[in-house]
Amino acid sequence: MSDNYSFSSLSRAKSAAIDAGLREHMLRIYNRMTLGVLVTAVVAWFLSGSQELMQFFLGGPQMWLVMLAPLAIVFFGFNPAKVSSGTMKMMFLLLSVLYGISFSVIFVAYTGESIARTFFVAASMFAGLSLYGYTTKKDLSGMASFLIMGMIGLFVLSIINIFMESSMMGNVIAAAGIIVFGGLTAWDTQKMKEIYSPRMDPEIASRLSWLGALSLYIDFIAMFQYLIHFMGNRN
């Protein structure tokens, strides 16, 4: 009886330690993701007030460098097996700045009130979907391939529509984007929860936190970008 009680107490203590470590791990991810969103918002707002700076970054062929550089950062700067936590932090902040430069056009094109309203809706959707991914017992990995293919398809169609300038295609892309990145928010959250281990080396845990922050950051700003297509009031 005493041995069973001791084993049960030890199991509960171990479970509590894991839960506390997991909460700390997820909180670190959310804090880092929030930092990225804040950097993007500040950069976008600052640049939107300067025609000279917007012309410098987005007024010519250099806009393609600003728009496509984040892809290079994601592919080459976020490998937890090879890149240190400090380097991943710098890459994440650089990516947040680059997205801020691109998003400066949103602050010019839409009213501040509609931007704030869209941000609130995007934040609410993100919170709900991330909470679902964290708490659900359903395995969401089955839809991962579909969502990733959808994300690639959205990217290709968005590039094509830059030249076609089709409003109908723009609406379809925006609607599909909300669905795809909403699903990715839930799946990414579940994936980050499942990958956590209390025995993980602190440096590796930090690297995975930056990787998780990047995933959720992209999910959030993509949802915001697609939502404002429908909710934004133009200046």
Q: How sure is the predictor about 14, in pLDDT bands with cuts at 50, 70 and 90? A: very low
Quote the pLDDT of residue 10.
Answer: 41
Residue type present at position 203: E
Residue 232 DSSP class: P
Which stretches within 110-198 are classed as H helix? 112-135, 144-164, 167-195
Asked if the model's pLDDT at residue 71 lies above 90, the reply is no
Q: How far apart are CA 218 and CA 210, in angstroms?
A: 12
The pLDDT of 36-46, averaged and rounded, is 96
Asked if the model's pLDDT at residue 214 lies above 50, the reply is yes
Q: How sure is the predictor about 228, in pLDDT bands with cuts at 50, 70 and 90? A: very high
Q: Which long-range contacts (CB under 8 A, 24 or more apart) does 151-160 make?
A: 151/180, 151/181, 151/184, 154/180
Residue 233 DSSP class: P
The pLDDT of 208-215, averaged and rounded, is 95
Asked if the model's pLDDT at residue 211 lies above 70, the reply is yes
The pTM (predicted TM-score) of the whole model is: 0.88
Give percent of the chain with pLDDT exceeding 90: 64
Give Rg (Cα) of the chain. 20
Asked if the model's pLDDT at residue 7 lies above 80, the reply is no
Cα distances (Å, whole numbers) of residue 104 to 20, 46, 51, 207: 39, 8, 10, 29
Instruction: Identify which has the larger pLDDT, 198 or 186.
Output: 186
Nearest to 221 by CA among 106, 109, 142, 86: 106
